[in-house]
Each structure stands twice: as structure tokens, then as C-alpha cells.
Amino acid sequence: MNFQQLRTILELPRHRFNLTQMASAMGMTQPGISRHVRDMEEEMGFAIFERSGKRITDLSDSGRAIMPIVERLLIEADKLQGASVEYTTLASGVLAISTTHTQARYALPQAMLGFRGAFPEVRIALQQNTPEDIAKSVIAGKADIGIATESLAAYPELAAFPCYRWSHLVLVPDGHPLLELGPLTLRALVQFPLLTYDHGFTGRRHIDQAFAATGLNPDVMLTAMDSDVIKDYVRLGLGVGVLASVAFDAEHDAGLRALDAGHLFAASTTWLAARRGAYLRSYTYEFIRHFAPQLTRQAIDLELHRDTTLASDATAPASIHRIAQPPTIHTGAPTMSTTIDTLWYTRCPAPTPFGIAIEQGWLAQEFAADGLQIRALQDADDPAIRRSHFTHSQPHSFRQGGNIPALWARSSGAATRVIGLSWVDEFQGLLALRGSGIASVEQLRGKRFGLPKNLVSGVVDFHRATALRGFSTLLDVAGLTLDDVKLVDLPYAPLGLGDAKPVDEQGFARLLRTHSQQEFSREAHALISGEVDVVFAKGATGLAAANLVQADVIVDISQQGNRLLHANNGAPRPLTVDQALLDARPDLVARVLARTIAAGRWAEAHPVETTAYIARETKSPELWVRHAYGPKLHHSLHIDLAPDSVAALDNFKQFLHGSGYLPTDFDIEQWIDPQPLRQALQLLDARRDNISAELAA
């Protein structure tokens, strides 16, 4: 057995068992290929291939079983050969880069300059290809790395890394009518012929998706692979150009004017890919450092050697994640097809516009014509899917509710993005039993504060974290800190989403055993039993619990003047989506968000119905809903990314991380993607009459 035989066995399926094609591609002869196959099968003692007569037609079952082993052997052999070259010719060699014209012309020059200064003896072989051919070239070993906006992250054989994000712009000649308009809109664009990229190039799908989402049909009269070609035809006055922002230089593109289109089309990500298991020369890492400084050698190697099985047996690359500026690497998200049959959602029992959109059936209505199901995670039979309420691991899913699970999931590596925030000021207070002798915040010093402790949670103990934040924030009103009180654990073992679903039809005993307990029942019991002097409660359920045990509110959040400190698990509430869905189908995300925004607008016009809905959602009497969330509740259910909400979320994230509830820190700004909100608002504007009529019905 030798490596040439192994390579022959591996390459035959890749050439669809066509010996003529394989011989031509690999510089071999057909008899030579047949001999390698025959010798290998004789040595193994079984048929690796199936045959029709003398013609090889497919892999046998045994052949499929050994293919991952063959590939691993060859990859290790390539590494050994690479190491040999590395240590005998440290500073010389050939770096083969396969990329598109746009990347070669506009994105790579500065990296090339820096790289050449470090490795002047290395020759660069720049191959310009289509995105599909770039992937094939890297997989076949004809290029060391590939760089493109499209396709690379979809190949299991490749380890793909996000490098930078960019947006499209609209290019017009001097004096064009679009220059006289206000903010650019898609409706304005469709009045002119468009010149843009071929399908599969430079973010073209984002352009198509934006127009499709609004029902507009642009006249795309010319497409090209080359940005410079598009610019030339714009100069001739043949139409309006839509091209990558990196392709425009005001100094060199005289006679052309650029209009920002970042609010019209979803941002795109440029990816760098290498073949899984490949041995990269030191100078390759150096080039990557100049092109995408955030990609460290350690991060590259971790993903590069994560999986070396064949494409037919491998899962998608774990590095499929979109990044914000400055770029950041995340791992763990699955790949996905753009063909989707179900959108999953989860929400907490809390006042959210997303919950209204779900309950009113507007999301189901939105996607009925698409054949998409809208399903709740809580309805799934699989406990792993239900647990995604906390982990946000389920593909094609949205979540709005308490921010602690969302922050914890992101901190734990979940590839999610925040696309909107809602803020409802809710009751937060410290409770003590009536007659306990505690009547003011100053009397809290030295008292026993009950801190719930979930004994069975496999995720973040969000109830405990919420109470700790409440204690800290409300003690601050009197100038006290957690060091001034005694924290007492209140252990309990609540039912969770991983447990069997509730049973409603086997009597009251079974009903009560299988339904989750009232949110603050453990705290209420601790007060009554005398375990503690003070507990924290919030929302309508908190007021209901206080009323049940005849507790007094010693201090509440309205007495805390620092609004940043009002942030807790219930404020602000982020609407998050999994990164893979946002990457693959930003049009669907924009439509979900548009319906959620519309639900908030509906609430403003329907205060009575809104209060009734939240009472049902929180399982609380309307009396406590009105008091817990205030008279302006129906005006508070809007979705935005207001700077003060973002700042408060960041303040709370820092508290959680400092208190040990988040495993790693991260940048809130990078977690947020504002593009879907811009698209959703534009979509609502384009569909204003239809949406208004539906919401009024």
C-alpha cells in the first residue's frame, strides 16, 4: 500500500468514477488508475468499488467505510510534507490565493503590501475565479486559501472564517435625479435601470432579497462580475449601479457619485477559507494577519483541524457566523439551507410586542403563503428543542423575553444577534411581611435577604441573578450595598423546559405536579416560614405574591434615580435571532421584525386589549398588570435600538459578568445588528396600507 494508491482511491469518487476525466486532471493514465485500484483492493481483501461489468460505478459499503480513514492518512501525509518544506525553506515559497475580482482589486492590495514587507521571498499566485470555483480550487489543493463573499461557508470540506462586513452603495453619474431626493428608497431605485453583479457574486442575493421582500421588480438591465465594468456603464448613463462599497473611491472614480444604501440591503460578509486539515505555511498565517487581524493562528488552527471527515459525512463548518465591525470570531453555529419549512419562536410570560404578534396570529398570517409553519419551542416533544429557550441553539428561531438567558447564551458561544429591544418599566421591589418591624429602606441593614437557588438548572440561574441585581439596585437607594445585609440561599427545584410537558387531563393532583409554580412562590414561602426577612419580587406576579402573603413594599424601583440601574432581567427585553437564519434569509427576519413592530403600534391604539393580553400572558389578574406596568403600558411596547436601552443592557451585562453569571465577556455593540430593523421599517413603510388594514380588522 502506498500514498499514490490512497490518493487514487480518494479522487475517483470526486471525479464521479470517470477514469478519463480523472486521468486528465491528475496527469495519470487510465491503466495506471486501474492498476492502483486493483492493487489496493487485493491488499485490503475486499472490493472498494461497485462495478457494472468492468466499469466502476460507485463505492461499495466497505469502500464508504474506509474513505474517512484514507482522507485522514493523506491529510497527515500532506502535513508532514508541508512541515518538511516549512523547516527547510522558512521564508520562501508560493502562496496561492483564489479570490474574486472585487476582492483582488479592492480588498487585498493593502494586505499584499504588508505581507511582502515581511516575506519578500514568497511569490504570490493570485487566481481570479467565481465563488464556486474558488471553493473547488481550495478543496482540490490548487489554492492555499480562498477569499470571497459568497459560498465559502457552505462547504463542509472548508474551514471558513468571517473577515469583514461591508454594505452596498448606489452609484450614479454627476447630475443624476437621485441626487436631488431625500433618503434613498427602493421605490426610487426601481424607477431607473439597474446595473449590478451577476448572481452568486458580491452580495447579489441581498439585493434580490430586498426587492423581493417589498414586492418590487427592478429592471436589472446589465450584470457583470467586475465592479469596474459596472462603473464604466454607469458613466455611459446606461443606468444606476448597485455595487460593493469597497469598490468605490471618490478620488479615482471621477464623474461618479455614491449614495449610501446600507439601509436598503443587508450587509455582506467576506470570508476566508482553507481546506480542513491542511497544513498552512507560516507565511500563510502572516498574510491572513494582514488581511483580517482578528483571525489569530490559534483560532484558525482550532477550526481548521476540528473535523477531517469527508464532506459526505461531515457537518457544516462551525465557523459560520456573521461578524460586526470591529470583526469578532464565534464558533458553534450549524449551517443551514435557505429552504426553510418552520420558524421557531419562544417568549417569556412577559409584556412583549413579539408575544402580541404571536398571539394575534400575525406571524402565522405573514408566512402562510410561503408554506412556513410558526411553532413554539415549548410545544416540541424533544426536550433539547425546548431547552433552546435558554440556549438559543435551535436553528431558524427567534426569542424575546428576559435578557439574562439571551446574554448567557451569547456569552456561552451561541451565534445570535439582537435585532430589537423593548423596554417596559415594571414593578421591582423589596418585600417584607407586614408587622415584621421593617418599614423603611434604612431598616434593611443587617437583615436576612432571601436569594433563590435553583438546584436543577443546567443553564444560568436567571431567577437568582435577577434577585441579586434587585437587591443591589434597591439597596443603593439608601446608600447600602450587599455587604450590609445577610444573603440566605433559598434552594428549590422547579420544573423546567427539559421536563415532561404539563398534563391537563389526569386530575388536579397531576395538573399541579406537572405545571410550573408561581414565579415567586419560593420567596413567599420563605417570608411566611420565617426563613428570611426580605425578598425581591417584580412584575404583576410579584405584586400578586406580595398581596397573597400580606407583604409590604419597603422600596421599589421608582425610587432609584439612575435609569441604568433599572435594567434587570425584564428591562430591556431583547429580540434575538440565530445568526445562521439571519445570514441565509434576512428577508424572513425583516418580515418577522416588521410584524413585531406593527404589534407594538397596535398596542398603542388598543390599551384595554393590551392589558387583557398581558394578564393572560403573565397569568395574573388585570388589577396587578395595571399597577405593575403602569398606565402607559400600551405606549411602551415598541421595538427599537435606542442608545439608552443599549447602554442599560450593557450595564446589566457587566453586572452579570462581574457576579459570575456569564462565562465570558463580549461587546454589546457587536452583538447588535441594526440592519434588520432598518429593513423592517422600510418594509412597513412600503406595505403601510395593507398592514394598517390587517391590524385594524
For 557-577, write each residue's pLDDT tens digit.
988 888 888 999 999 999 999
Cβ-contact 40, 48 below 8 angstroms: yes
Supply the pLDDT for residue 85: 55
Task: Reduce the DSSP state of residue 373 to 3 states and report it.
Answer: strand
Residues 342-354 have a mean pLDDT of 91
Phi/psi for 631 (5° steps) reads -70, -15
Joined grid coordinates for residue 519: 414565579
Cβ-contact 261, 273 below 8 angstroms: no
**Residue at grid coordinates 455587604:** 483
pLDDT of residue 331 exceeding 50, the answer is: no
Cβ-contact 173, 255 below 8 angstroms: yes
The string of DSSP letters for 34-99 reads HHHHHHHHHHHTS-SEEEETTEEEEE-HHHHHHHHHHHHHHHHHHHHHHHHHHHHSTT-EEEEEEE
Supply the pLDDT for residue 322: 32
Cβ-contact 591, 367 below 8 angstroms: yes
pLDDT of residue 317 exceeding 60, the answer is: no
What pTM was computed for the model?
A: 0.54
Task: Reduce the DSSP state of residue 653 to 3 states and report it.
Answer: helix
- Whole-angstrom distance, CA of residue 546 vs CA of residue 369: 47
Supply the pLDDT for residue 6: 83
pLDDT band at 16 (very low <50, low <70, confident <90, very high): confident
Supply the pLDDT for residue 692: 57
The length of the chain, given as a count of residues: 697
590-601 confidence digits (pLDDT tens): 999 999 999 999
227-279 confidence digits (pLDDT tens): 999 999 999 999 999 999 888 888 889 899 999 887 788 878 889 999 988 88
pLDDT of residue 339 exceeding 70, the answer is: no
Q: Which residues contact 99 (CB under 8 A, 6 or more apart)?
A: 108, 126, 127, 128, 129, 134, 146, 147, 148
Joined grid coordinates for residue 415: 451565534
Supply the pLDDT for residue 319: 36
pLDDT band at 323 (very low <50, low <70, confident <90, very high): very low
Instruction: Render the burial of 666-692: b for 16+ CB within 10 Å, e for the rest.
Output: bebebbbbbbbbbbbbbbbebbeeebe
Q: Which has more confidence, 650 or 295?
A: 650
Q: Which has more confidence, 370 or 485?
A: 485
For 482-585, where are the alpha helices, taking DSSP H only? Answer: 507-514, 521-529, 539-549, 579-584
% of residues, the chain, pLDDT over 90: 44
- Whole-angstrom distance, CA of residue 576 vs CA of residue 394: 12
Supply the pLDDT for residue 396: 92
Identity of residue 70: V
- Whole-angstrom distance, CA of residue 304 vs CA of residue 313: 17
Residues 468-492 have a mean pLDDT of 94
Cis status of the peptide bond prior to 351, with omega within 30 of 0: no
Identity of residue 434: R
pLDDT band at 325 (very low <50, low <70, confident <90, very high): very low
- Tell me 559's DSSP state: G
Alpha-carbon distances, residue 528 vs 234, 286, 392, 434 (angstroms): 77, 66, 37, 11
pLDDT of residue 321 exceeding 50, the answer is: no
Q: Which residues contact 157 (CB under 8 A, 6 or more apart)?
A: 139, 275, 276, 310, 311, 314
173-228 confidence digits (pLDDT tens): 999 999 987 778 888 999 999 999 988 787 888 898 888 877 889 999 999 988 99
Cβ-contact 459, 390 below 8 angstroms: yes
Helices 282-291 and 109-118, packing angle to 10 deg: 140
Reported as type and span, the H/E element at residue 139 is helix 131-139
pLDDT of residue 505 exceeding 60, the answer is: no
| Domains present along the chain, CATH in parentheses | 3-68 (1.10.10.10), 89-165+269-304 (3.40.190.10), 171-266 (3.40.190.10), 342-425+570-696 (3.40.190.10), 429-470+481-558 (3.40.190.10)
Task: Reduce the DSSP state of residue 670 to 3 states and report it.
Answer: helix
Supply the pLDDT for residue 327: 35
pLDDT of residue 428 exceeding 60, the answer is: yes
Cis status of the peptide bond prior to 572, with omega within 30 of 0: yes
**Which of 473, 683, 692, 522 shows the shortest CA–CA distance to 599?**
692
Cβ-contact 127, 101 below 8 angstroms: no
